Amino acid sequence: MSIHKMIALHPDVGEDSNGLLATAARRAMFCAEMCTSCAAACIAEPMDMRQCLRSYLDCADVCAATGRLAVRRTGRNIEAVKLLLEACAQVCELCAAQSASHDHAHCQLCSQMCRECAADCRTSLATIN
């Protein structure tokens, strides 16, 4: 089932489902899970990964909150959605930089997901008014 379809079915949405915002919400939800999974993988690594763990878990929390706010369509809280999208983009960029510094395949994959999430959040910001 698609988050795009769910948003379009909301009685208050009508023809303004904002596909780019739905895409950002979906990516943020996936990014939260990828960061959580990568944090779990880092725990199993033999080296000290504390800073990476912190970055992944912080990013996962911000992404999860962003996804939740972005799919709500009852009422309006444009300012909060914009702030979270911008924060999500920034936190994802920080996490991507942190994870890119490690050679582990799970860190590299997480870095890629964070960059994609940041891009989607920034793209959707321009569609909110």
Whether 126 shows a pLDDT value over 80: the answer reads yes
Tens digits of per-residue pLDDT, 84-122?
Answer: 999 999 999 999 999 988 899 999 999 999 999 999 999
- Tell me the three-class secondary structure of the chain, residue by residue: CCHHHHHHCCCCCCCCCCHHHHHHHHHHHHHHHHHHHHHHHHHHCCCCCHHHHHHHHHHHHHHHHHHHHHHCCCCCCHHHHHHHHHHHHHHHHHHHHHHHCCCCHHHHHHHHHHHHHHHHHHHHHCCCC
The domain locations on the chain are: 18-125
- For domain 18-125, give its CATH number from 1.25.40.10, 1.20.1270.360, 1.10.600.10, 3.30.70.3450: 1.20.1270.360
Tens digits of per-residue pLDDT, 13-53?
Answer: 777 778 899 899 999 999 999 999 999 999 999 988 888 89
